[in-house]
Structure formats: C-alpha cells, structure tokens
C-alpha cells in the first residue's frame, strides 16, 4: 500500500524542480537544479508502485533498492557541499568534501553493499520478511540503517552552520530556509536509530524519512526564493547565480 507521504514528497520535489528549470536553462545555479533532479529521482523510486515498475524492468532482483541508496548518497553529498560553501562554513565543508567525508561515504557505500547482498540473497529478503516470509528482520533493519548512515553524518555536520544562519541577522527567507533544512537535518539524524526499531515503528520511520527529504527540498526552495526578493550579499553568497 502506498503511503500518502510518498506521493506528497514526490509532488513537492517535482514542483521545486519545475520552478528551478527556467534558471537552469539560462545557466544559472545548475548545481541546485541537479540536486533537485536527484531528489526527485529518489522520491520517484521511493513510491512503491513506481519502484515495482522500475525494478521489474531491471530484472526484479531489487537492484533498484541499491541504486536508490547510492542516489541518496550522491544527493546528500551535493547538498552538504553546496550548503556549507554557501553559508561560509569552511570547517564543515571540509568535513564533507575532505578526507573524513570521503571515508564516511566510502564506508557507508560498503555497508549498504554488504547488507544488500545479505538481505537480498536467495533465502532472505526485505519483501519476503515484510510479507510474512522467511526473511531475516535483523538483516533488513541493518540494511535500512546502512542506507541512513551517510545522510545522518552529513546532517550532523550541517547542524552548526544552519543554527548560526537561523540565529543570525540574515533576511527572513534565508533564516526560514535554514530552519526548514534544520528540521530535515534533525529528521535525517533520527531516522538512523529509528530504522533499527521494530516493524511497529514503520509509520514513524516513514515520517522521519520523508520529513527529512521535504525539509531539505523546501529549505533549498526558500533559499532560492530569498535570492529573488532580496539583494542581500549574504543571500547572494549562499545561492547566488555566480556559483555553479
């Protein structure tokens, strides 16, 4: 059964993507457009029915699940790099794009890959377990948690600069964008321990997962809108057209 959150998140991502399309065509700030494009792809694959169609086209081996997680990692990397650079957070930017950040990404990819092959082997699978089959719920939880390690890492890194932006004297839309992304960041961090919870927590897990996506996407949209209504140098430095 499809959660309304799946379609709502996809709709918000599509709307934000379409709003950014004209500027992207003009060559303005294409990085943010790329982020929104990847976020829309992730949201599309997260819709149960659409996932089934795509995975069926790829052979029905649940490889789409692995692709989805790698795409999420790429999206989070771009978001983290863009936000820290735009907010002037040099230390946090280094924690994401420097050696430690690449180690975090590499280990997360390794964890996702290993748990994927354990979960989706011939005798165990998320789909089988969720439908009452012989799948291993412990492995399924580990696979879910592995997919949230890197987003949680980047989100933790983003908390200080986002708090500073929200508490500062920036334009209201910039502060609203920082607060909205901050909410998404908190949801992303909480989704890691929540993913290890029992099946009874599924509704809360979905809320955290989709809340994180919505927080990031809506926050990025607010940052962009702030650039349309103010000539503040801080706003331009954050999401100005000069940065690609």
What DSSP assignment string belongs to 170-184?
A: --HHHHHHHHHHHHH
What Cα–Cα distance (Å) separates residue 77 from each residue in 29, 105, 136, 241? 17, 8, 31, 20
Query: For 4-239, CATH number?
Result: 1.20.1070
- State both tokens at 201: 């927590």
pTM for the model: 0.86
Q: What is the CA radius of gyration of the chain?
A: 18
Report the half-sphere exposure of 225 (CA within 13 A, side-chain side).
15
Note down pLDDT in tens along the chain; length 244 residues: 457 889 999 999 999 999 888 888 888 778 889 999 999 999 999 998 999 999 999 888 889 999 999 999 999 999 999 999 989 999 999 999 999 999 999 999 999 999 998 887 654 434 443 443 345 667 888 999 999 999 999 999 999 999 999 998 888 889 999 999 999 999 999 999 999 988 888 888 999 999 999 999 999 999 888 877 765 444 444 454 444 4
pLDDT single digits (tens) 35-79 = 999 999 999 999 989 999 999 998 888 899 999 999 999 999 999
- CA-CA-CA-CA torsion sign (192, 76, 221, 213): negative
Among all chains, which residue has been given the structure tokens 């918000």?
12
pLDDT of residue 88: 92
């Amino acid at each position: 059964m499809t959660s309304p959150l799946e379609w709502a998140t996809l709709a918000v991502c599509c709307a934000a993507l379409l709003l950014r399309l004209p500027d992207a065509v003009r060559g303005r700030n294409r990085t943010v457009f790329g982020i929104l494009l990847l976020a829309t792809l992730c949201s599309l694959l997260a819709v149960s029915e659409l996932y089934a169609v795509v995975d069926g086209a790829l052979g029905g081996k649940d490889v789409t699940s692995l692709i989805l997680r790698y795409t999420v990692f790429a999206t989070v990397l771009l978001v983290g790099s863009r936000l820290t650079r735009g907010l002037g957070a040099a230390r946090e930017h280094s924690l994401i794009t420097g050696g430690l950040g690449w180690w975090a990404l590499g280990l997360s990819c390794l964890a996702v890959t290993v748990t994927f092959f354990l979960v989706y082997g011939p005798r165990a699978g998320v789909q089988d377990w969720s439908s009452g089959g012989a799948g291993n719920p412990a492995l399924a939880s580990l696979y879910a948690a592995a997919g949230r390690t890197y987003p949680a890492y980047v989100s933790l890194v983003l908390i200080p600069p986002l708090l500073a932006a929200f508490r500062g004297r920036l334009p209201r839309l910039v502060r609203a964008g920082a607060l909205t992304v901050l909410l998404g960041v908190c949801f992303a961090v909480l989704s890691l321990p929540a993913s290890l919870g029992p099946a009874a927590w599924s509704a809360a897990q979905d809320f955290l997962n989709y809340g994180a996506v919505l927080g990031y996407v809506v926050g990025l949209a607010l940052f962009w809108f702030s650039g349309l209504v103010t000539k503040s140098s801080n706003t331009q430095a954050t999401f100005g057209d000069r940065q690609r």
